[in-house]
């Protein structure tokens, strides 16, 4: 009797082992495929051209008394400054502006925020706070002012930047200067690239 039970037990164990092997064995595919799909990639790089030309620079203002407000720049010297996106441009671009502190080269200075601008032109998008009847102030950090789509076709697209300045009420007499930077970048560039 005992040997019979042992035999039955071993048979059960063997059956489990066979079931386990059947479950985990990968059977080879023995049929032939009637078709096959394979893919590859094709890539091409389209070069991005950006060309911008500035005209009517530098920006000059007449001699002014302290406390004088919103005096326009001298005609054709920043009044207006032309920022022209040339027709070689093949990518959508964004334009930014910033300026440095007005300084006499010594200890006297005043903020670049005293210089304002108003933009007219045919850009696809203009900063509304700087266009129409609005004027925006220059800042030390780059501020976005316009977008231009591409392609431009056969012609250029120009924006006119009209400049005005206000002199603080108490400001030492001297010649003051600032540096303005126009940064134009591809829309796809790092968002902070012009910062």
Partner 1 sequence: MNYRPCLFILTILFLVPISLADVNSPAYSLGTMQPVSSYTAHPGENKTVDFYIFNAYGNRISHIMFSTANNPDNLEVDLPPLETNMWNISGIMTPVEENLYVEPMPIVEEQPANPPAGIYYLKATNITGFIPAKRVVATIKIPEDAPLGKSYELTINALAKWYGEAGTVQISQARPFSYTLLITAENYSETLYNPPGEEGGGWSLGLSNEMVFGIVIAVLVIVILFQQFRPKKHR
Using rule CB under 8 A, residue 153 touches partner 1: yes
Stretch that binds partner 1, among 30-38, 127-135, 166-174, 182-190 (CB under 8 A): 182-190
- H or E stretch including 21? helix 2-24
Residues 45-74 that bind partner 1 (CB under 8 A): 45, 47-61
| Contact between residue 183 and residue 93 where contact means Cβ atoms under 8 Å apart | no
Contacts (CB under 8 A) with partner 1, residues 80-109:
81, 84, 86-90, 99
Establish if 181 lies at the interface with partner 1 (CB under 8 A): yes
The least distance separating partner 1 from the CB of residue 110, rounded to whole angstroms, comes to: 12
Largest CA distance in the chain: 124
CA angle centred on 98, ends 153 and 155, rounded to 5°:
10
Token reading at 56: 């009517």
Beta-carbon neighbour count of residue 186 at 10 Å? 17
Site pattern 3..22 for partner 1 (x: CB under 8 A)? --xx--x--xx--xx--x--
The tokens describing 25, both together, are 């064995």
By CB under 8 A, tell whether 182 contacts partner 1. Answer: yes
Q: What tokens appear for 1 in the block?
A: 């009797």
Q: Which stretch binds partner 1 (CB under 8 A): 29-37, 103-111, 126-134, 185-193?
A: 185-193
- Cβ-Cβ contacts under 8 Å for 10 (sequence gap 6 or more): none
CA-to-CA separations, 116 to 45, 46, 143, in angstroms, rounded: 41, 38, 12
| 158 contacts partner 1 (rule: CB under 8 A) | no
Measured from the CB atom, the residue of 122 and 128 that comes closer to partner 1 is: 122
Query: In the complex, which residues of this chain contact partner 1 (CB under 8 A)?
Result: 2, 5-6, 9, 12-13, 16-17, 20, 23-24, 45, 47-61, 76-78, 81, 84, 86-90, 99, 115, 151-154, 163, 175-186, 188-190, 192-195
């Amino acid at each position: 009797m005992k040997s019979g039970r042992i035999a039955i037990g071993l048979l059960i164990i063997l059956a489990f082992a066979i079931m386990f092997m059947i479950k985990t064995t990968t059977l080879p595919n023995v049929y032939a495929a009637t078709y096959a799909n394979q893919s590859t990639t094709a890539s091409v790089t389209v070069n991005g051209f950006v060309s911008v030309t500035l005209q009517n620079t530098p920006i000059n203002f007449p001699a002014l008394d302290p406390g004088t407000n919103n005096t326009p720049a001298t005609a054709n010297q920043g009044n207006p400054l032309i920022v022209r996106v040339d027709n070689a441009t093949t990518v959508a671009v964004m334009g930014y502006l910033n300026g440095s502190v007005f300084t006499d080269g010594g200890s006297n200075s005043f903020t670049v925020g005293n210089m304002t601008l108003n933009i007219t032109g045919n850009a696809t998008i203009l900063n509304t706070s700087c266009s129409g009847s609005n004027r925006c102030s220059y800042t030390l950090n780059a501020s976005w002012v316009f977008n231009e789509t591409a392609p431009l076709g056969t012609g250029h697209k120009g924006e006119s930047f009209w400049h005005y300045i206000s002199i603080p009420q108490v400001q030492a007499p001297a010649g003051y200067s600032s540096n303005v930077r126009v940064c134009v970048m591809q829309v796809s560039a790092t968002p902070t690239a012009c910062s």
